[in-house]
Amino acid sequence: MAPNSIHWFRKGLRLHDNPALREAVRGAGTVRCVYFLDPWFAGSSNVGVNRWRFLLQCLEDLDANLRKLNSRLFVIRGQPANVFPRLFKEWKISRLTFEYDSEPFGKERDAAIKKLAMEAGVEVIVKISHTLYDLDKIIELNGGHPPLTYKRFQTLISRMDPPEMPVETLSGNLMGRCVTPISEDHGEKYGVPSLEELGFDIEGLPSAVWPGGETEALTRIERHLERKAWVANFERPRMNANSLLASPTGLSPYLRFGCLSCRLFYFKLTDLYRKVKKNSSPPLSLYGQLLWREFFYTAATNNPRFDKMEGNPICVRIPWDRNMEALAKWAEAKTGFPWIDAIMTQLRQEGWIHHLARHAVACFLTRGDLWISWEEGMKVFDELLLDADWSVNAGSWMWLSCSSFFQQFFHCYCPVGFGRRTDPNGDFIRRYLPILRGFPAKYIYDPWNAPEAVQAAAKCVIGVHYPKPMVNHAEASRLNIERMKQIYQQLSRYRGLGLLASVPSTNGNGSGGLMAYSPGEQQQLPGPNSSTNSHCKSPPRPPLVHVTLLLPHPQGARIGTGRRRGEGRRGVFPQQAAEAEHRGQGSVRASIWTERWLTYQQQHQ
């Protein structure tokens, strides 16, 4: 007897390169494609309207494509664990298929559903297609631990077989005699809900800059690959004002929701490169966007605390400040720095910002200016970014805040100079902060320096119509660099785990050697005229600040000479299992050998 199948959509919202969906229809008598949506969760979750709209458009497009195959999408209201047992019985299901989810929450959820299916006598088939590689194999190849430097990750995958080829798109021929029972009230019972039904007020909501769905994704990838010059020269286009705007070739939200197969993208890039370069093998770096995604997925797959500082074995526990007022100003684009505020306005309006713009606002919130935890910024991005992905979002924030993966803390983005170099005329500022439209280019990035007559002519008085800067960047960044330097120096002195701490070298010989400074020593730091702090005025150097580091020693050993006055103390310790790796001149990545840390954990748990 032909099986009755359910294919469970989560990510992977597409018909092309969907091996689990192919398994659902293989030899089946009936197939129903389901997506679970909890209306209560939708109304209470920390996800913004743009992201929900994108998801609903993806579901509508998926349903439209299934209709062409005389099938439909079944949007189920409720939780999978509560609803599946009823569906198994009601639809007489004997096969359940879905795409493998590598994230810890997904693996836990899927294990529970597999158990329910087994109890109901339902066969479960799971296929990998959201990632290029089997992440468990990468970890196995690395001795049972995820690689925690991108260089090591690249080394590992270079030893592996290439990703599997995409499977054929589901078609009428592949469906064969498999049918989908559809009732007359299908739309009422299983239709895609509206934003209003989910509790969103859409009055005044602008049209979507990023339309969701597989159809749009496939159109965009063709546009993306038309840029043969980029592939041939293997370069990214230079950053300019237009780069900051949403591109019709942008793909990140479509990869995040699985509207676009990462394997399809990978092999289309490969084929185009070989055509342009006459059959030469492409370098790994051609696939940078995909491989960084894969790197963070691998780092997160067995770490349920990957999005937290506390209890996260790869995250430095930095004593960030708790300042809800400052956090709100950053999130609501009221910092008084036009470059930062324009980026955050674009994020809230459109659900996307350029990757270098993400660097700028993340640095400003964390180690650059406000000294607020990366966890808070990650939550805001998770709410507003269309392409926010649990693994990639958390990994990127740890990286940009120098909490993991990257420790060159002495490089800091200037919220004036960085934007000015990118868009000297300030067109991006004028687009998203029209209140500043009247300022000449000379003052558009630092309008507080404009004479009163210029502010009056622009019909925008700083401190009245637009806020004054919430911090002195030059002072705050220098102070925070000093704090970061002390954190890594003090960690380097904790010999129990063999930590190598990254500190800027001042010997000028480019040796990249370790610098052994005591907590009380002062070191020359990058000044306001450095490449990362240009156009920022420099106040007198602030006094040295000592930071207490709380270590997880069984006797409660403490390293440090005090803490910053008025600062909430959260403790510091990097349980980083990163490989030692030299990076650039005068810096070394912070790292702890994996085996030493694991031994330490076993001894002191």
Q: Tell me, yes or no, whether 335 and 434 share the same domain.
A: yes
In the numeric block, the tokens 């989910």 are attached to 198
**Any known ligand binding at 408?**
no
In a domain, 373, yes or no: yes
Q: What is the pLDDT of residues 508-546, one digit of tens each?
A: 333 222 222 222 222 222 333 333 444 454 333 333 333
- pLDDT at residue 601, rounded to an integer: 39
**pLDDT number for residue 238:** 64
Residues 377 and 396: their CA atoms lie apart, in Å, by 11
CA distance 597 to 577: 7
Residues 154 and 282 reside in one and the same domain: yes
Q: From 268, 302, 336, give the residue that closes a domain.
A: 302
Q: Is 290 annotated as a binding residue?
A: yes
pLDDT, tens digit, 9 for 90 and up, residues 114-124: 999 999 999 99
Residue 596 maps to a domain: no
Q: Which tokens in the block code for residue 560? A: 């440090």
- 71 and 160 co-located in one domain: no
**Same domain for 138 and 61:** no
pLDDT at 595 over 60: no
Shared domain for 122 and 54, answered yes or no, is: yes
Q: How many independent structural domains does the chain possess?
A: 3
* pLDDT reading at 82 higher than 60: yes
Q: Where is 30: in which H helix or E strand?
A: strand 30-37
569, part of any domain:
no
> What is the predicted pLDDT for the residue at 409?
74
Q: Is 558 marked within a binding site?
A: no
Q: Is 389 annotated as a binding residue?
A: yes
Instruction: For the chain, give the mean pLDDT.
Output: 83
Is 441 annotated as ligand-binding? Answer: no
Residues 282 and 137 in one domain: yes
Angle CA 54–58–62, to nearest 5: 170
15 and 70 share one domain: yes
397 is in an annotated binding site: no
pLDDT in tens, 147-196: 999 999 999 999 999 999 999 999 999 999 999 999 999 999 999 999 99
Q: What percent of the chain has pLDDT over 90?
A: 68
Tell me: is residue 292 an annotated ligand-binding position. yes
Q: 414 in helix, strand or coil?
A: coil
Q: Is 59 annotated as a binding residue?
A: no
Helix (H) or strand (E) holding 97: strand 95-99
Look at strands 95-99 and 558-559 and give their pairing.
Answer: unpaired
598 is in an annotated binding site: no
CA 476 to chain centre: 26
* pLDDT grade for 41, boundaries at 50, 70 and 90: low
Which tens digit of pLDDT belongs to each residue from 416-429?
999 999 999 999 99
Do 409 and 361 belong to one domain? yes
Which pLDDT score is estimated for 492?
75
Round to whole Å and give the CA distance between 113 and 330: 40
Residues 143 and 290 grouped into a single domain: yes
Q: Is 256 annotated as a binding residue?
A: no
- Pick from 474, 489, 518: which residue ends a domain? 474
Spatial neighbors of 461 by CB under 8 A, at least 6 apart, are: 452, 455
Phi/psi for 210 (5° steps) reads: -120, 95
User: What residue numbers bound the domain in which 138 lies?
Assistant: 131-167+215-302
User: Please, are residues 213 and 14 in contact by the beta-carbon 8 Å criterion?
Assistant: no
Q: What is the pLDDT of residues 182-239, one digit of tens each?
A: 999 999 999 999 999 998 999 999 999 999 999 999 999 998 888 755 665 655 556 7
Residue 421 shares a structural domain with residue 372: yes
335 and 468 share a domain? yes
In this structure, the answer to whether residues 330 and 298 fall within a common structural domain is no
Q: Average pLDDT in the 96-118 region?
A: 98
293 is in an annotated binding site: yes
Is 443 within the bounds of a domain? yes
